[in-house]
Amino acid sequence: EKGTYDHFMLKEIDEQPLVMRKIIEAYENEQNQLVLPPEILSATTGCDRIYIIACGTSYHAGLVGKQLLEKLAQVSVEVHVASEFSYNMPLLSGKPLFIFISQSGETADSRSVLVKVKEMGFPALTLTNVPGSTLSREADYTLNLHAGPEIAVASTKAYTAQIAVLAILAATTAKAKGIQTDFDLVQELAIVANAMEVLTQQKETIEELAHAYLDTTRNAFFIGRSADYFVCLEGALKLKEISYIQAEGFAGGELKHGTIALIEEGTPVIALDTQAGVHGAIRGNVQEVVARGANALVVSMQGLELDEDAFVLPHVHELLTPLISVVPLQLLAYYAALHSDCDVDKPRNLAKSVTVE
């Protein structure tokens, strides 16, 4: 089923534009408006707080989802790592809604939280790529990610599908609450799909960047602010998982609070710059690390780019940049792993679905 591809991961990265289009198709009505089942919108409009529960890459998608739900639908959201939530449960609000995000729908850490949530009598919605999976069956409602089977252990198209479906949840909840936005998500996701296509055609450039910045390193840092920070966490996880390079994603503003001590001559620092509001601040961070010898690779978005940037992303709506900024990071991880002869699709010590707590 890999077709002409050497690895499922690369095939799945390339499928992302198609997945975006499938998601739009699956959730739009004949008038090209995005719609969700009324019972799901009653749950999102009727709650006083949303608790997103997930692990790994799905947790990273949840962080982006929080921003979308808070900004578009004006609902408070907390995002929790499932394994921590069980024994460190926060003080819950009066009318919580739980959202579980899980590609496989079988992750044991998330399942054990769902069991507790159901015992407490709270409603739960699962976003999963596997309808009929345990997390889908045991929750009150399910939204399908429509990403198609994801075989590579490193999650790629499920992450972008999760963010797209969370954006749809946010936009339809906003509409159901009567919140006016000038945001046409169908159109914006179509722009995202086209941008993803452009990016997947730039593999040679990204392979060269992986060669120049990552082939001989033992560690790497990813810095960003606001939504870029969340994507940095995901970029670092992807790189660690398949290339075994020790990587850390962190908020640009946190550099001076400790991590900058690790920057030395030649340390690769990958910086994202897609958010106009923090453009100056993240550029300042790039200068700080370069002054200490870092090998900085800046990935910026059209409109914010500078001549020296290594890679420039096509322009998409500012709320949706994680959907495209992650693509070069997925490809960097892929080529870094390939160049060190790692088993890209089946990294050591990892399973596709983690069914033990």
Binding site residues, ligand M6R, CB under 6 A: 55-58, 102-104, 107, 110, 153-155, 237, 241, 353-354
Residue 141 dihedral angles phi and psi, to the nearest 5°: -135, 155
CB 147 to ligand M6R: min, Å: 11
Nearest Cα to 274, choosing from 304, 249, 250, 297? 304
Taken in order 225, 350, 103, 340, the sign of the CA dihedral is positive
Choose between 107 and 144: whose C-beta lies nearer to ligand M6R.
107
- Distance from first CA to last CA of the chain, Å, rounded? 31
Which amino acid is it at 351? A
CB 312 to ligand M6R: min, Å: 26
How is 216-259 classified by DSSP, letter by letter? T-SEEEEEE-THHHHHHHHHHHHHHHHH--EEEEEEGGGGGGTG
Choose between 219 and 353: whose C-beta lies nearer to ligand M6R.
353
Neighbouring-strand partners of residue 49: 96
The vertex-81 CA angle with 158 and 224, nearest 5°, equals 70
Choose between 57 and 275: whose C-beta lies nearer to ligand M6R.
57
CA distance 91 to 51: 11
Nearest Cα to 138, choosing from 95, 106, 97? 106
CA distance 111 to 128: 13
The answer to whether the CB of 13 falls within 8 A of the CB of 39 is: no
3-state class (DSSP) for residue 198: helix
Q: Active-site residues: which are they?
A: 352
CB 285 to ligand M6R: min, Å: 26
CB 5 to ligand M6R: min, Å: 18
Neighbouring-strand partners of residue 312: 300
Choose between 225 and 240: whose C-beta lies nearer to ligand M6R.
240
CB 10 to ligand M6R: min, Å: 14
How is 162-176 classified by DSSP, letter by letter? HHHHHHHHHHHHHHH
| Sheet with 246-251, side-by-side order of all strands | 246-251, 219-224, 268-273, 295-301, 311-313
CB 52 to ligand M6R: min, Å: 12
CB 192 to ligand M6R: min, Å: 21
